[in-house]
Amino acid sequence: MAVITPVLERADANLPQSLDRLFDLVRIQSISTDPGFKAECRKAAEWLVAELRALDFDASLRETPGHPMVVGHHAGANPSAPHLLFYGHYDVQPVDPLDLWEAPPFEPALKEVEPGQKVITGRGTSDDKGQLMTFVEALRAYKETKGSLPCRITILFEGEEESGSPSLKPFLEANAAELKADYALICDTGMWDRETPAISAGLRGLVGEEVVVKAADRDLHSGLYGGAAANPIHILAGILAGLHDGTGRVTLENFYDGVEETPSDIRAMWSKLDRTAEKFLGEVGLSIPSGEKGRSVLELTWARPTAEVNGIVGGYTGEGFKTVIASQASAKVSFRLVGRQDPGKIRESFRAYVRARIPADCSVEFHPHGGSPAIQLPYDSALLNTAKAALSEEWPKPAIVIGMGGSIPIVGDFQKMLGMESLLVGFGLADDRIHSPNEKYELTSFHKGIRSWIRILDALAA
C-alpha cells in the first residue's frame, strides 16, 4: 500500500464534513465589488482564519486598505521538503440578475443532476471557494492521518480577486520575506474536461477601463433637442463599434505590439484536442466564433488578445419608454492581453482612441480597473512535470498542459516580486457558470480535487 493511501481514504471518509464546511463558507456573501458586502467579506476571512488555526496553522487576518488578507504558516513534518505557498480567493462575483437563479445564490445545496452526477450549487462554489477548500481539506486529511503536513506550507487567501486585487501587490511587497516560498500553488483554474485534469501555462493579462461620455448638462427631451443635440449613447456606440475591424481585429494603435504567433507545434497539439467551435460555443447556445477570423477557438481564447465590452448603460432603461437624450452614457471595457503586450500602453492607446472620437462640446472620463500583463509559464519544468504525473494518477485521463483565457495577475506578481514559479491546477469545468447565475461545482471536482492535492503534496514533498 502506497504511503498516501490512508490519507486518500481519510479524505474519502471526511467528504460529508468537508462539504458542510464548504457550505458554511459559501453562505457568507463575500461580494468584493459591492461596498454593501464589506462586512461579509471580513466574515469570510475570519472564517478561514479559524479553519486554518484548527489545522495548527499560525494564521491571522491581515488588514489592507480594502478587504483583509488571510495568511497562515505551518512548519510541516519535513524541513528538507520544499516550502509551498498556496493562494486562493474568498471573494465572489455579484449575483445579479438574481431572478435567473434557480435557488438562492448563498444557500448552497447538493443536487443530483444526472444519475451519479452531483453538483454543489451556489455563488462561489467553483470560483473560488470550492477550489480553495480542496486544498484545505487535503491538508486536513494529511494532518488527521499523519499528525502533520508533509512540508512547510504558507497560505495566502485574498478577498479582492474579483475587484482587480488592488491591495495584493502592496501586501506582497510589504510581506515579501514572510510569503516567499519555493513554489506557489494556485487553485483558480479548470479541468480540460470531466475526465482530463489540466495545468495552465499561459494566462492572458487584463486591462479594464470604464468610459463615461458626457454631453448636455442635463437629460434632454428628444422632441425638443433631437437632431441637434449630441447624444452620448450615439458617440459611445460609435466608439465601441469601431474597436474591431471587419476581420475581428482590435483597431487600437499599436495594440498588437508584443503579440506573437503561437508556435506551430503548440497549435498542432491544441488542434488535436476535441474543442471545435461548435462544441465549445454550442455549450452556451452559440456556434460561430466572433473574434479574429481564421483562428481556432482555442487560439482565440488562449493566445490572442481581445477587447470586450462588459457593460453599458445610458438614458432611460426602465419599463416603457422615455424619449430622452441622456446627458451621459458609460461602458466598462476590458482587454485580454497576451505575450508582451504592455497594459499601460494599451490603456493609453485606448484613451487616445476614445478622446479622438469625442466631439469638441462633449467630454469623457476614464476610470481604470486592473492592469496586468500576460503570463507564460514554462511548458516543462520539474514542478509542472511532478504535478502532471500526480494528477494523471488520480483522474481517468492523463493531465494536459493548456493555455488560459482569463488572467490571474498574482502569477506575474509571484514571479516578479517573489521570484516564485507558480503551478496552476484547478478542477472547475467549462459549464460551472462562474460569474453567471446558477454557478455550480461538481462534487467530483471537489472530492477528486482534494485527492489530487494530497497526491501533488506527496510528490512535491518527496
Q: Which of residues 350-409 bind a second copy (CB under 8 A)?
A: 359-362, 369-370, 404-407
Give the integer Cα–Cα distance in Å for 196 and 63: 39
Q: Which of residues 190-209 bind a second copy (CB under 8 A)?
A: 190, 204, 206, 208
Q: Which stretch, 148-156, 236-244, 375-383, 390-398, contacts a second copy (CB under 8 A)?
A: 236-244
User: C-alpha 308: how far from its chain's center?
Assistant: 16
Applying CB under 8 A, does 246 fall inside the site for a second copy?
no
Residues near 414 by Cβ (< 8 Å), separated by ≥ 6?
A: 85, 87, 172, 184, 420, 421, 422
Applying CB under 8 A, does 144 fall inside the site for a second copy?
no
Least distance (Å) between residue 450 CB and a second copy:
24
205-214 β-sheet, strand order: 328-337, 205-214, 363-372
Least distance (Å) between residue 280 CB and a second copy:
7
Are residues 117 and 47 in contact, defined by beta-carbon separation less than 8 angstroms? no
Least distance (Å) between residue 314 CB and a second copy:
5
Q: How many residues bind a second copy (CB under 8 A)?
A: 102
Least distance (Å) between residue 97 CB and a second copy:
8
Are residues 204 and 210 in contact, defined by beta-carbon separation less than 8 angstroms? no
Q: Which is nearer to a second copy, 96 or 173 (CB)?
A: 96
Dihedral sign, CA of 289, 293, 297, 301? negative
Q: Which of residues 65-104 bind a second copy (CB under 8 A)?
A: 93-94, 96
Q: Which stretch, 141-149, 167-175, 277-285, 443-451, contacts a second copy (CB under 8 A)?
A: 277-285
Dihedral sign, CA of 384, 385, 386, 392? positive
Q: Which stretch, 7-15, 114-122, 240-248, 391-399, contacts a second copy (CB under 8 A)?
A: 240-248
Residues near 34 by Cβ (< 8 Å), separated by ≥ 6?
A: 94
Applying CB under 8 A, does 258 fall inside the site for a second copy?
no
Applying CB under 8 A, does 433 fall inside the site for a second copy?
yes
Sequence-separated contacts (24+) of 409-412 with Cβ below 8 Å: 409/164, 409/165, 409/168, 409/205, 409/206, 409/370, 409/372, 410/87, 410/158, 410/165, 410/168, 410/184, 410/186, 411/184, 411/186, 411/203, 411/375, 411/377, 412/205, 412/372, 412/373, 412/375
CA dihedral 369, 372, 374, 377 (to 10 degrees): -130
Q: Which of residues 22-41 bind a second copy (CB under 8 A)?
A: 32-35
One residue of 77, 109, 237, 259 binding a second copy per CB under 8 A: 237
Q: Which is nearer to a second copy, 258 or 437 (CB)?
A: 437
Q: Which is nearer to a second copy, 307 or 418 (CB)?
A: 307
Q: Which of residues 47-66 bind a second copy (CB under 8 A)?
A: none
Q: Which is nearer to a second copy, 135 or 280 (CB)?
A: 280
Output the nine-digit C-alpha cell for 393: 494518477
Q: Return the closest-CA partner of residue 410 out of 452, 386, 377, 366.
A: 377
Least distance (Å) between residue 283 CB and a second copy:
9
Give the integer Cα–Cα distance in Å for 185 and 166: 21
One residue of 26, 331, 399, 420 binding a second copy per CB under 8 A: 331
Give the integer Cα–Cα distance in Å for 434 and 430: 9
Q: Which is nearer to a second copy, 304 or 451 (CB)?
A: 304
One residue of 15, 61, 77, 216 binding a second copy per CB under 8 A: 216
Applying CB under 8 A, does 242 fall inside the site for a second copy?
yes
Q: Which is nearer to a second copy, 225 or 379 (CB)?
A: 225
**Residue 422 buriedness (CB in 10 A; 0-12 / 13-18 / 19+):** buried
Q: Which of residues 287-326 bind a second copy (CB under 8 A)?
A: 287-292, 297, 300-301, 304-306, 308-326
Q: Which is nearer to a second copy, 80 or 317 (CB)?
A: 317
